[in-house]
Amino acid sequence: MTGRTILAGLLFGAALAACAALCGGCTSLATNVRQVESNDPNVRRQGVESIARNPGAKRYPKVRELLCLVARSDPDPQVRGAACRALGRNEGEGVIDTLTHVLENDREPYVRVDAVAGLAMHRGPEAIPPIAKALAQDPSLDVQVAAAQALRKYKERSAADALVGGVGASNIAVAQNSWESLRYMTGQNLPRDPDPWKQYLKSTQKPFARYGRPPPLPKGEDQRPFVVRGPADAVKDLFKEDVREGELK
Q: What is the pLDDT of residue 239?
A: 56
Task: Please report, for the chain, how many H helices and E strands are present, in that order.
Answer: 14, 0
58-71: pLDDT as tens digits: 888 988 999 999 99
**How confident is the model over 196-222, as a mean pLDDT?**
88
Stretch (H or E) spanning 114 = helix 109-120
Burial of 39 (0-12, 13-18, 19+ CB in 10 A): exposed
**CB half-sphere exposure, 191, CA atoms < 13 A:** 12
Distance between CA 154 and CA 124 in Å, rounded?
8
pTM: 0.80
Residue 197 pLDDT > 90, yes or no?
A: yes
Q: Contact, 227 vs 180, CB < 8 A?
A: no
Give just the sign of the alpha carbon dihedral 215, 218, 224, 225. Answer: negative
- What CA–CA distance (Å, rounded) separates 193 from 156? 20
- Per residue in 143-184, pLDDT (tens digit) is 999 999 999 999 999 999 999 999 999 999 999 999 999 999
Residue 247 exposed, middle or buried by CB count within 10 Å (0-12, 13-18, 19+): middle
